[in-house]
Amino acid sequence: MSRLKPRPTKTIQDLETTLTNCVKLNSSKTMATTPSLFPDPTREIFFDVETLRLSHEVEGGWANIAQFGLAVAITWDSQNRFRRWFEKDAKALISELEQFDRIVSYNGDRFDFEVLRGYHPVEKLTGKSFDLLTDLQRRLGFRIKLDDLARETLGNQKTGNGLEIVQWWRDGRKEEVCKYCENDVQLLVDLMDFARRNKHVVVKSRKVPVDWP
């Protein structure tokens, strides 16, 4: 009878090589799908709007935000940076927002999209919405103003309030209104950047963990 040849004994180096190859194989398989879990920053857009009218000037008030009217909207994306959109541009703005994978706002779900709805259907936008206020309210159980969030987290703040901004627009101070709105959008961009790097924002002097991709 022929004797079976003994299997060569694997050395520590052989085992390490095998383990390394397995890790590389698993990593390559994971990386093939992982990027799809994270939005491409070049495919997201930030936006905010200022209106022509206040709630008490519109029949139905807060239940009829679509009639508040668009004074100006500001968008920011990594390719185009800041852009200004006025009432005559409302449909073009909606069309542009539709081109992005994610639309970042603060109270956009309840307010900004409703303002745009007065000019054109926005159903294609709402499914792409990432509303920072909505997310924080879910985590905290209460609403927080953008001004307070930015001041505590970034050390920056808004440069006015919605009531006076409408009057500024009527007084012809349109450039100031545009700059005010741009500042709000810049706060959104900076908050997202801070949260992505630090995994938290600051609310009422405490760190609130967030997992904003």
Q: What is the dihedral of CA 114, 168, 191, 79, to 10 degrees?
A: 80
Partners of residue 200 on adjacent β-strands: 209
In Å, the largest CA–CA distance within the chain is: 106
Q: What is the pLDDT of residues 109-154, one digit of tens each?
A: 999 999 999 999 999 999 999 999 999 999 999 999 999 999 999 9
Q: What is the pLDDT of residues 62-101, one digit of tens each?
A: 999 999 999 999 999 999 999 999 999 999 999 999 999 9
Confidence grade of residue 7 (pLDDT, cut at 50, 70, 90): very low
Look-up of token digits 């992982």 = 34
Can you give the residue ranges of every domain in the chain?
A: 41-204
**CATH architecture for the domain at 41-204:** 2-Layer Sandwich (3.30)
How much is the pLDDT for 39? 55
Q: 78 near 42, Cβ under 8 Å?
A: yes
| pLDDT at 176 exceeding the cut of 50 | yes
Q: Cα separation of 3 and 90, whole Å?
A: 86
Can you list the positions of beta strands (E) in 54-110? 70-77, 81-86, 102-105
How much is the pLDDT for 160? 77
Whole-model pTM above 0.85? no
Inter-helix orientation angle 174-198/146-154, to 10°: 50
**Which one of 25-34, 156-165, 172-181 scores highest in mean pLDDT?**
172-181
Q: Closest Cα partner for 128 from 106, 83, 98?
A: 98
Q: Cα separation of 29 and 169, whole Å?
A: 55
